[in-house]
Each structure stands twice: as C-alpha cells, then as structure tokens.
Amino acid sequence: MMSCNDVYWMHEALKEGRKALPLCAPNPAVGCVLVRDGKEISRGHTQRPGGNHAEIEAIEAALKAQRPVRGATAYVTLEPCSHQGRTPACAKRLIAEGIGRVVYAVKDPNPLVCGKGDAMLREAGIAVLSGVCEDEAREAHAGFFSHMMRRRPWVRLKTAASLDGRTALENGVSQWITGSAAREDAHRYRALSQGILTGIGTILADNPQLNVRLTGEFINPTKYIIDPRAQTPIASAVLGGAKTVLFVSSAAPKDSVAALKQAGAEILTMPTDQSGHFDLKRILETIDGRGVNDLLLETGARLSGAFLQAGLVDELLVYMAPALIGPGMPFANMDTKTRMDQVDRWRFVSVTPIGDDVRLILKKKTEHEG
C-alpha cells in the first residue's frame, strides 16, 4: 500500500532524475533514491549513454560512502530494467545487493523490459510497489514514452508572440518581440531537445543558427530543415556547428543538393504528395529513428499550422510579450473554423513569468477533459 512517505521519496527521485538532463538522451532521465528507516542513504540519476543507470549510481554512491544498502527501499521513477544492454540489468543488481523493497513510478514502455523487471524483483522475494506518482513520471519521461509507444518524438512547438498572437510585424520584422530572459529560457528548451526542426521559410527569412547559447554542459541538437527544393543558401548560419539534415524532394535541383552536401549538410530525399508536400508523420518517424525523443519545432506560420492541423504537436511552448502589434504575422496558419466545437482546445500546464514576459506551457486537451 502506498504511503505519504512513498510519495515524498518518489518526488525526490523525480527531482534527482531531472539532473540527468540534457546529457542522458536518448535514455530516459531516471532518478533513484535509496532509503532506510525514513532516512536517505544515497541517490543517483541516469548518466550519459553507456554509463550507469540511476539505480546503479545510487548503489555505487552508497557503497562509496560505506553505507550498507541491504534491506533498504529503492525509489525509482521508471521500472528497473531486466535486460543486459550497454549496461548491466538494474533489477539483477538490486537483487544482488539485497534491496528489501522497490517502489517505482511507472512501467517501462520498452517491450524488452515492460513488466519483466517487476516480475524478476518479485520472484527474488523483493516487495514491489508500482504506480506511485505515475502521472508525474509519465510527464518526466514523455519523450521516451513517445518513442517507445508511437515511434515518433514528443513534439514541442515553440513560439514568441504578442498579446494579440503576432510573431512578427507586417513587414516581417520579429527581433525582438520578447526580452532577453525569455530568449535565454528558450535556449534551455533547445538544450533539452535532441533535434530542432524548422522550414526553409524560416531559414530564408531569419538565417537562424538554431544552436544552444548557454553556459554549462549540453549537447547541441541536430538541426532538421524541411526544404523540398534544396533552397538553403550555402552561407546559411544553420550549416555551422551541429549536424544539419535537410529533407528534400526528388525534384530538388541536383547541383543544389550536391553543393549542400559539400557544405556539410546531410540530405534525406523524401516522397511528396501531388501538391509537393511531405508526409509530416513520416518525417517525424524518420527523426525518431535517429535517436530523437524530444523534438523542438521552431517553425513559421505555415509549417506550424500544418503540424497542428495534422495533430502532430504534443506541447505548446509560448513566450508571450506584453505588447500589441496589430496587423502582423500570425502564430499559425490554420483552416477557418465556422463553429466553436471545431476549435482545438488546449489546457494550461504552467504559466510562469520570465523577465517582463510570460512563458505558457500547454498540452492538448483530451476528450474526457471536454
């Protein structure tokens, strides 16, 4: 049976898991806390790929501090793994160390693991409790769950807009709608993503770098550009730094494709429909197959609207400035609605002041939420 103490320590494990970001991807950012008699023994979080999982880190930290772990309770944000991959099975190590009880938040969606770690622990006589803070854990591991269950990344659409929903003036000028604090915060979300996707319209209009400009340790995400006709200029800032991948059509000029390859871009030729448009779901599946669990969209109105109308956006990240622009560029081009029951409804997850601006995080409203 779950107790208030179980909830408290699982929250601590979730907090520890956040320390794994952004370097643990594509592995989930798991946290583990070892507790005996209501007191913490040690804690740990997922290391870089190939490094220790959270449970092993916590055990090693305890042993290093000469604190025995036999009989302790392990609080873990994801079901302990039972298979040998690049790292040993965590469930086996928990058994070997004599852990007395394991409390975990959510079953691992990986078919190699789902339920098997739980079963292995129970067969060894360890008391197991699951489902503690499950919703929070699913949210913390959203990208990993999306990869395992949908074979596409968790898609976060980011925009900066005025109070009246404009992302640029009518003449296209957009620098800067929001202040420096909001822009710095947006770079943290770039660092939390393994990929950033934009369209050729944004490349031609803004010449963005699409990199992370923060202090500290992070990995610059791969940049993906939807560019059917291979129009990205060779001198574009986006071609510098981390890998840049262009989605082009078979109709793209061969000399342009060759020049972009020479400039260091990777070219992926994708099929188009009769209108010359890519299948966006197929693009997401392709990106997912390249180790991207969390994808940040930094797209213009047309592409943002296309992803939204296709139902392929999981989260909105909106930086709203206390400004009214009037005529200008919209956040997203979408089909005209004639009835209110046709309107896409979202729910606020958080509303946070960032400098003079506000950061809004929203997720799609489910049917049962009305």
| CA-based R_g, the chain, Å | 23
Nearest CA to 121 among 138, 104, 145, 141?
104
Cα 178 from Cα 214, distance rounded (Å): 18
* Predicted confidence (pLDDT) per residue in 250-302, tens digit: 999 999 999 999 999 999 999 999 888 999 999 999 999 999 999 999 999 99
pLDDT tens digits, 33-54 = 999 999 999 999 999 998 999 9
Q: How far apart are CA 13 and CA 57, in angstroms?
A: 12
Segment 345-370 shows an average pLDDT of 86
- Per-residue pLDDT tens digits for 118-148: 999 999 999 999 999 999 999 999 999 999 9
133: alpha, beta or left, given left = phi > 0 and alpha = psi -120 to 50? left
Average pLDDT, the chain: 93
- Which residues are CB-contacts of 229 (< 8 A; sequence separation ≥ 6)? 200, 248, 249, 251, 252, 253, 256
pLDDT in tens, 144-171: 999 999 999 999 999 999 999 999 898 8
How many whole angstroms separate alpha carbon 40 and alpha carbon 38? 7
Q: What is the pTM of this model?
A: 0.92
Check residue 32 and give its pLDDT.
Answer: 98
Residue 365 — pLDDT band, cuts 50, 70, 90? confident
Q: Percent of the chain, pLDDT > 70?
A: 98
pLDDT of residue 370: 47
Other beta carbons within 10 angstroms of residue 250's beta carbon come to 9
Catalytic site includes residue 55? yes
Percent of the chain with pLDDT over 90: 83
pLDDT at 248 over 80: yes
Domains defined for the chain, CATH in brackets: 4-145 (3.40.140.10), 151-364 (3.40.430.10)
Catalytic site residue from 55, 97, 298, 315: 55
pLDDT at 63 over 90: yes
| pLDDT range class, residue 340, cuts 50, 70, 90 | confident
pLDDT score, position 366: 61
Average pLDDT over residues 344-367: 91
Asked whether 194 and 294 are in contact (CB, 8 A), the reply is yes
Which pLDDT value is given to residue 367?
52
Give the pLDDT confidence of 181-208 residue by residue, as tens digits: 999 999 999 999 999 999 999 999 999 9
pLDDT tens-digit map of 68-90:
999 999 999 999 998 777 777 99
Please give the average per-residue pLDDT across 332-359, as a whole number.
Answer: 90
The sign of the dihedral angle between the CA atoms of 63, 67, 72, 74 is negative
Q: Flag whether pLDDT at 368 surpasses 70.
A: no
